[in-house]
Chains A and B, each alone.
Chain A
Amino acid sequence: MRKYFYTLIALLAWIGLPASQALADNGYSKQKVVYHINYDDPKTQAGALRNIQNHINAVGADKLDIKVVLHGNGLALLILPEAMPDLPKFKHANANDQMAARIDGLKQQNVSFQVCANTVRGRKVSVEDHLYDVEDSDIVPSGVAELARLQQLGYVYIKP
């Protein structure tokens, strides 16, 4: 049994695909795009989400790999309105029901939202209590470092 297990692992070792390569159904690699949001005005943020949705509508969710990187003021997108009093360093908390619904919708279409740990730490944000639906896996050490890293991996950079 153990021998089988190790043979299987060895086999997988040669077959395994690197994490960064995702194949769409048609066999082509997905288009990779990273959206950069560091501003907090609710109208502009809503507009950005609309951009993303239009993008998906035009190309197809299964052909896209979209990441949204939030840092600095941009974190306001995910801040729950009731958290406003606790966060003096933010001027906006935009994750009301309507925005949350949009965010959920996008997440179901392969969009992931990455949150900058530096901002979280620097502005004393509690991920559990203040942010809408953010898990540990969504947190990156540095928003700008992540933007650079993704570009090096071939993601197209867009700042809506």
Chain B
Amino acid sequence: MDKEESPSLLGRLGRNRRLRTEVSAQRDRLYRLAWSWCHDQYLADDLVQETLTKALSRLDSLREESRLGVWLTRIMANLYRDQFRRKREETGQEIEPISEETPEDATERSLLVVHTRAAISALKDDHRQIITLVDLSGFSYADTAQILDVPVGTVMSRLSRARKRLREELEKAYVTSSSVVVPLRKPS
């Protein structure tokens, strides 16, 4: 290879190719998180799509490759806050995790799963996001703080409140439901 050619073009091509692959590899993880926020597969897919598009157009702004997951999730959290929260309200949808499945599907899945999803979607956005970020995605407090752009102290207090609320909602779900469909509050 001719050494007089500028190495940075190839270097960047290589880096970007690698990053593109890694970004795409995160799709499933992002979708799982997005779905836990939206409880609607089309909305979640849209959110992930826009996140990836935005990320791929800004690869150069990613400073440390080891922070890819945090960086992507932060983009997604911002998109959710700026656009998708509103979209959810606009469609006037009650969040019904069961609406996408037939009753047969739902009974196949264990009741625990159904109730947990119902309880999570009954939480307000802030609480739902913080619990899923820490418990589902496994982000540290510091990373979660960065993703949501709040101080770590806020993460800690919000998280402990959110878990309390989650347990209250779980108890409600078990107490009130005898059938599979669980009526839920409108999104707040």
Contacts and interface: CB of A to CB of B under 8 A. Distances in A.
Interface in A1-58: 2, 5-6, 9-10, 13-14, 16, 18
Contact of A2 (B2, B13, B16, B17): B2
Contact of B25 (A14, A16, A18): A18
B73 to A, nearest CB: 17
Given A2-B2, A2-B5, A10 B21 contact: no
Contacts of A18: 21, 25
B111 to A, nearest CB: 28
Nearest to B13: A13
B25 A9 contact: no
13 contacts: A2-B2, A2-B5, A6-B5, A6-B10, A9-B10, A9-B13, A13-B13, A13-B16, A13-B17, A14-B17, A16-B17, A18-B21, A18-B25
B2 A10 contact: no
A9 B16 CA distance: 13
Interface string B1-26: 11001000110011011000100010
Given A9-B10, A9-B13, A16-B21, 12 more contacts: A2-B2, A2-B5, A5-B1, A6-B5, A6-B9, A6-B10, A10-B13, A13-B14, A13-B17, A14-B17, A18-B21, A18-B25
Interface of A: 2, 5-6, 9-10, 13-14, 16, 18
Contacts of A2: 2, 5
Nearest to A2: B2
Nearest to A18: B21
Contacts of B14: 13
A2 B1 CA distance: 8
A22 B13 CA distance: 23
Nearest to B21: A18
Nearest to B25: A18
Nearest to B10: A9
Contacts of A10: 13
A2 B6 CA distance: 13
A16 B17 CA distance: 8
A16 B21 CA distance: 9
A14 B21 CA distance: 9
Contacts of B1: 5
A16 B24 CA distance: 13
Contacts of B16: 13
A6 B6 CA distance: 12
